[in-house]
Amino acid sequence: MDVKRICAEVLDGIRPDKKRVADVLYVVKPFLKSISDNLKSLKLSAKVVLGGSFAKGTWLSGDFDVDVFVKFAMKYKDDDLSGLLEQVLKPFGPERVHGSRDYFWVRKGGIKFEIVPVLAISRPEQAQNVTDFSPLHVAWVNENGAGLKDDIRLLKQFCKANGVYGAESFIRGFSGHVVDILVIHFNGFLNLLKAASSWKTNKKIVIDHYNKYKGRALFFLNKSKTQSPLVVVDPVQPDRNAAAALSLEKLRVFLKAVRGFLKRPSEEFFVLHKPDFNKLSKKGHLFVVDVKTLDAKPDVAGAKFVRAFEFVKKQLGDFGVVDSGWEWDEKSKGLWWFVLKQDELPVFFELKGPPVNLKDSVVAFKKKHKSVFVRNGRLFAKVKRDLTSAFDVLLQALGSDFVVGRVRSAKVGLV
């Protein structure tokens, strides 16, 4: 099928229709007015504006989150903006979320509003927190990407479907802001994909939309900000790498999907698939774990959820992990799955020791282990396993302090 036709059909499914937009606005407009009225009654000099993908006109059908910025006048720069906003939102029963500057969640009419206090800056140097730049990001996209909103939607859906969307620490993928910049820089979704298909991961990829650093961004930017494989100079805040959170693993996943799509275009590259446990079970011995995450900020709960998953995966390493993965609803429910080459191990195994010429290490190794022998100039010990069953090792790992301290519960489930 023609690639442009595929993109058009995908857009038909992800672009909110007029009725959905009207339904959302029916809830959003009076809610924003209520916040504005509360600001006036408290005699606070601040303005309420829409933010995020809703304000940019790039939101996806089925996305029920709306970002709102409360822009406080610069005279409040030394005040506790989160505390002031909490007073304003008190009638709505807000949920306070801790961050570099605390913000709030309010659920109303089936929509989750994320309400962020920011300073009404006019110049980047006035910012006191990274969130102060957010309204400027919205303005930049609306000014420079007016005709590219659907292309941004396509890239966002493409990244979501391939598990590389989101800068949170448990994902380390492409942020919404980076998606915006890339589409605008390359003037379209397909143009970006064609350019990205030639990217190599063995050296830094640098995107500097305004050519601020004349090809020397890596020289001028702080090295701590250029550790990621992709460096995207923020057009609003040029001393910042907008893609700093992106991991090499996620970039590789993205590039594999890009090349696959360009080689054989298909709508499947835009569809988020649930794990097919029937297929996974044919690869080896499948274990699925039902997980309940901590009641905490998503970034915190998600990071601990993924760290616990990686710990369990490591414990199962001797059984040969041929496939593994996780999914999470970013609320409370998650899954881990592990496909193992074998589910039973021999009672004894050979433990590799030091070379025979390291005398002190040899003495210590022999003192610790009884059945020691030499092979090819190195000591080995025959060691008895405490557990030989993958199921038992999995249960032990799930009951460990490491896992118990990072998720609310983790139980082996049924496939």
Q: Render each residue's pLDDT in the chain as its tens digit; 415 residues.
A: 689 999 999 999 999 998 888 989 999 999 999 999 999 999 999 999 999 999 999 999 988 789 999 999 999 999 999 999 999 999 999 999 888 899 999 999 889 999 999 999 988 889 999 899 999 999 999 999 999 999 999 999 999 999 999 999 899 999 999 999 999 999 999 999 999 999 999 999 999 999 999 999 999 999 989 999 999 999 999 999 999 999 999 999 999 999 999 999 999 999 988 899 999 999 999 999 999 999 888 888 999 999 999 999 999 999 999 999 999 988 899 999 999 999 999 999 999 999 999 999 999 999 999 899 999 999 999 999 999 999 999 999 999 999 999 999 999 986 6
d(CA 239, CA 210): 13
Would you give the DSSP letter of residue 59? P
d(CA 352, CA 315): 18
pLDDT for the residue numbered 391:
96
- Using DSSP's 3-state secondary structure scheme, residue 118 falls into strand
Domain with CATH 1.10.1410.30 in the chain: 149-270
User: H helices within 276-353, ranges in order?
Assistant: 277-281, 298-315
Answer positive or negative: Cα dihedral of 288, 293, 298, 300.
negative
Contact of 341 with 310, CB cutoff 8 Å: no
pLDDT for the residue numbered 341:
97
* Nearest alpha carbon to residue 71 among 125, 120, 134: 120
pLDDT for the residue numbered 20:
86
pTM value is 0.86
Cα 72 to chain centroid, rounded: 29
Bridge partners, 116 (sequence order):
69
In angstroms, the first-to-last Cα distance of the chain is: 36
* Nearest alpha carbon to residue 41 among 79, 96, 91: 91
Rounded-to-5 percentages of helix, strand, coil across the chain: 45, 20, 35
- Give the Å distances, CA to CA, from 199 to 206, 252, 254: 10, 10, 11
d(CA 232, CA 182): 8
Answer positive or negative: Cα dihedral of 17, 19, 22, 27.
negative
Contact of 39 with 1, CB cutoff 8 Å: no
pLDDT for the residue numbered 110:
87
Domain with CATH 3.30.70.590 in the chain: 277-344+388-412
Bridge partners, 374 (sequence order):
379
Fold of the 348-384 domain: Alpha-Beta Plaits (3.30.70)
Contact of 360 with 353, CB cutoff 8 Å: no
The residue type of 10 is V
Domain with CATH 3.30.460.10 in the chain: 15-131
pLDDT for the residue numbered 415:
61
Would you give the DSSP letter of residue 121? -
- The correct answer on CATH 3.40.1410.10 for the domain covering 149-270 is no
> So what's the architecture of 277-344+388-412 in CATH?
2-Layer Sandwich (3.30)
> So what's the architecture of 15-131 in CATH?
2-Layer Sandwich (3.30)
